[in-house]
Chain A
């Protein structure tokens, strides 16, 4: 597509429920990144994909977080047993190749855990 698309744009969930966030990158972009932004804060790196592979998962905050990418395109970020501290905006970005080009960000998913 023309831009990076994320869904849903907003998600309110009860503590303890699982949520799935989706990112559809720009067509042809091989690299995909997930970041998290808490209210009024900077961006915290979570995970990146080169194709379908995620070489470094150390940025994920806990084992409740997981991510996958299929077909070198769509990625999903899953948070199990959500906690209130998971509330944040989850941002996805893609770039043509890994790292050495400009990133294009989606509009984010605002997650609120109540």
Chain B
């Protein structure tokens, strides 16, 4: 099956710093989503981004489907950004479900 690798696995930032999270995937995809899981376990959909670039406030994401990677940018990080960021993809073979990476655990310290 499709492999989804995220890096780095862990990241500690000072409040106000910027960061880039990466997601590599091993095959073509129909769907790619970024999620934030907060410390209470709730998964929030950040972006639906199978290709191109999107921005939402301090967050933006870029997917280069032809090169099989996606990037999530966090600018001016805040303590509320802490949690685990997951990349999830639906293979182009039409599996009709998302396969999740192992996540990047972000800790933002004041």
Interface residues of A (CB under 8 A from B): 33, 35, 41-43, 45, 48, 50, 55-56, 59, 89, 91, 93, 98-105, 107-108
Within 8 A of A (CB), among B15-71: 30-31, 33, 35, 41-45, 47-48
Measured CA separation A39–B27 after assembly (Å): 28
Quick check: B33 and A102 within 8 Å, CB to CB?
yes
Interface residues of B (CB under 8 A from A): 30-31, 33, 35, 41-45, 47-48, 86, 88, 90, 95-103
Quick check: B96 and A99 within 8 Å, CB to CB?
yes
Measured CA separation A99–B31 after assembly (Å): 7
Quick check: B30 and A100 within 8 Å, CB to CB?
yes
Contact A48/B96 with A42-B103, A101-B48 known, Cβ cut-off 8 Å? yes
Quick check: A105 and B43 within 8 Å, CB to CB?
yes
Contact A103/B30 with A42-B102, A45-B97 known, Cβ cut-off 8 Å? no
Q: How far is the CB of A93 from chain B (nearest CB, A)?
A: 8
Measured CA separation A44–B54 after assembly (Å): 27
Q: How far is the CB of B56 from chain A (nearest CB, A)?
A: 12
Quick check: A103 and B45 within 8 Å, CB to CB?
yes
Quick check: B31 and A100 within 8 Å, CB to CB?
yes
Which residues of chain B are within 8 angstroms of A59 by Cβ–Cβ distance? 97
Quick check: A43 and B100 within 8 Å, CB to CB?
yes
Name the residue on B nearest A45 (C-beta): B97
Name the residue on B nearest A107 (C-beta): B42
Cross-chain contact of A107 among B41, B86, B97, B99 (Cβ < 8 A): B41
22 residue pairs from A and B, CB less than 8 Å apart: A33-B97, A33-B98, A35-B100, A41-B102, A42-B86, A42-B100, A45-B97, A45-B100, A48-B97, A56-B96, A59-B97, A89-B41, A98-B96, A99-B30, A99-B96, A100-B31, A101-B48, A103-B98, A105-B43, A105-B45, A107-B41, A108-B41
